[in-house]
Amino acid sequence: MVSRQIITFVFSDIEHSTRLAQQSGEKYPEILENHRSIIRKAIHNYQGREIDTAGDGFFMTFQDPYFAVLASQEIQSSFNSESWANRIGLKVRMGIHTGEALSTFSGYTGVEVHYASRICSVAYGGQVLMSEDTVMALGQNIEKISIINLGEYQLKDFLEPVKLFQLNIKGLKNSFPRLSISPQEKRIAVLPFINVDKDEELEYIGEGMADELIVALGKIQGVRVVSRSIAFPLAMADRNPLDIGKKLRISALLEGRIKTEKSGVKISADLINTESGFNIWSGHYDSTRDNLLPIQDDIKHKVAVALGCKVISQQQDSIQKRQTQNAEAYDFYLRGRRFYLQYSNRGISLALQMFQRAIEADRHYALAFAGMADCYIYHYQHIERKSETLNKADQMSKKAIDLAPAFPEVHVSRGIILSERGLFEESEKSFKYAIETDPTLFLGWYQYARSCFVFGKLEKAARLFEQANRVEPEDYQSLLLASQVYDDLGSNELASSLRLRGATLAENCIELNPGDTRALYLAANAFALLKNREKSLLYLQRALALEPEDSMLLYNAGCVYALLNMQEEAMVSLEKAFSAGLTLIGWYENDSNLDSLRRDQRFIDLLEKIRNLPK
């Protein structure tokens, strides 16, 4: 049942939550619980309704806009008076908007909800912003509060500028800098370290070091690191820092070299200004393969300092904390990661062998067990859907959590497995732990969103896909999936805006890496929905020429053909996807791209086959 009503939406989150999580370490979950208790008390006191919470974010609603304002005042005053919050520097930012939204059995959706979320995202910690619509809805109650007109601002994904107001709260700080719509972050890219000797044995080390640095640098406040999938293809085609800077819109590039010596290896690293081409920092290291982790930590620290970013102690030793101190095990782990990231049947098989050998070298290597769990999950989802494969993933995942319960990555794997078993509430706990422990973990937000979609929780899926994109802005997948969900929820204008952005990002990715089949088929899907049939078919045919047997590609080909009303081609593709191992019933049942096939007997028969598969 869907209805429309006027409601006041309030969003809140913790300013600099990533930095706070890193500084607080194992105490962060307790901090989040205290934070939630304060907000929930105010919601209750002013007859509000908690709609959703994810990580440090809250989404709440109020029938009366004045009560929404009073609740916001209470929340900010409470945090200001709490000694524990002041001691750790916890600041909450809030956004309020009143408008008409679609009400469903599980919450609210629509562009007005998105509007409130965007207002919150531009506020400072301790600040409450509200829209002009809320100010107007307050009526005579406006005389009971103090507000400042901040002027007009262009919010992301909205065509017209909007007028924003600040709520002044007695006894609290009411002076904030001018709103900064575009965050001032240092954007950098990390390329695989060059294997100077062309020694095949060093190829995986160069990529592995870059992978670790991408993860580690991405956790530092004020640094935005371009994703691996975007940066690594450039290493094959272009090493000119100025050209790469223009293509990726980055201010600095980190690259390095590895050379073998009789006594070990020589490693050099350069941080280059992509506007001038000059070095910002250079480092040179003589080492053995047994001593790579301290070098990576030192490079990370020196890069952060060179960029003018503060590195706290918990960030300085994070690579060594994550990894084994057994050089042989780490060596096999790096090989396994390289094979796994090929996302192919052969790559997964070889990755399993490498992770197994890493475990044989170090029986307490949590990330190697997590690597095996990821391989079994991939095999189950994309190659062969056998219960014994899922059981193996389950066993490896449990072992990884037993060894390293604080590692967020292992909880993402666990969440996927529990989702596959149909245990949504348990899987949600795993995903929530992952994103609360590490708010910069893209896969945590992304896989949580996918799980919500599969279980039909569309409003939450849309918000989580968007948050995944905020964590990794170059990612086209999260935007395009969010646009589809917003279409399903009836927010077509918002969906179109997100789809255009996602299609542009996908095309950028294709330009950098013409062989990226996922970018090709998702771009094809986007252009089918944007009514560009010619471009849609062009991209789809390019993808199918590259990987004609890939199950996920075949499924998405079915979606594109269905959108283009090519029903025979759609059914052939979906039947091939099923035969190739893609049997995710939630996608077949909930994917609106396939709506034109719902009455086709072949599609009905296909659904029945999937439902009757052994669990």
Residue-wise pLDDT tens digits, 566-608: 999 999 999 999 988 888 787 888 888 999 999 999 999 999 9
Phi, psi of 128 (to 5 degrees): -120, 120
pLDDT of residue 221: 66
In the CATH hierarchy, which fold is given to the domain comprising 374-611?
Answer: 1.25.40
Neighbours of 541 (CB within 10 A): 13
Which stretch, 103-107, 229-233, 417-421, has highest mean pLDDT? 417-421
For residue range 257-274, what is the model confidence (pLDDT) as tens digits?
988 877 778 899 999 999
Average pLDDT over residues 353-359: 94
| Average of per-residue pLDDT values in the chain | 87
% pLDDT > 70, the chain:
93
Which value, to the nearest 10 degrees, does the dihedral of the CA atoms of residues 371, 376, 377, 381 take? 140
Which stretch, 116-120, 335-339, 532-536, has highest mean pLDDT? 532-536
User: How far is the C-alpha of 384 from the C-alpha of 581, rounded, in Å?
Assistant: 5
pLDDT of residue 315: 41
Average pLDDT over residues 512-522: 88
pLDDT of residue 2: 46
Closest CA to 518 of 540, 485, 549: 540
Which value, to the nearest 10 degrees, does the dihedral of the CA atoms of residues 490, 494, 496, 501 take? -150
Q: Under CATH, which architecture does the 3-168 domain have?
A: 2-Layer Sandwich (3.30)
Which stretch, 154-158, 186-190, 235-239, has highest mean pLDDT? 186-190
Residue 316 has pLDDT above 50, yes or no: no
Q: Which stretch of 236-240, 361-365, 403-407 has the lowest confidence by average pLDDT?
A: 236-240
User: How far is the C-alpha of 254 from the C-alpha of 267, rounded, in Å?
Assistant: 13
In the CATH hierarchy, which fold is given to the domain comprising 186-323?
Answer: Rossmann fold (3.40.50)
Average pLDDT over residues 356-384: 91
pLDDT bin (cut points 50, 70, 90) of residue 345 is: confident
C-beta of residue 165 within 8 angstroms of C-beta of residue 129: yes
Residue 313 has pLDDT above 60, yes or no: no
For residue range 4-63, what is the model confidence (pLDDT) as tens digits?
678 999 999 998 887 788 778 788 889 999 999 999 999 999 999 998 888 888 999 999
pLDDT bin (cut points 50, 70, 90) of residue 392 is: very high
Give the bridge partners for 271, in sequence order. Answer: 254, 281
- The residue with greater pLDDT, 609 or 582, is 609
Looking at the chain, how many residues does it have?
Answer: 615
C-beta of residue 387 within 8 angstroms of C-beta of residue 426: no
For residue range 272-294, what is the model confidence (pLDDT) as tens digits?
999 888 999 999 998 877 777 78
Residue with tokens 């052994």: 614
For residue range 75-104, what is the model confidence (pLDDT) as tens digits?
999 999 999 999 999 999 999 999 887 666
Residue 614 has pLDDT above 80, yes or no: no
What are the boundaries of each domain within the chain?
3-168, 186-323, 374-611
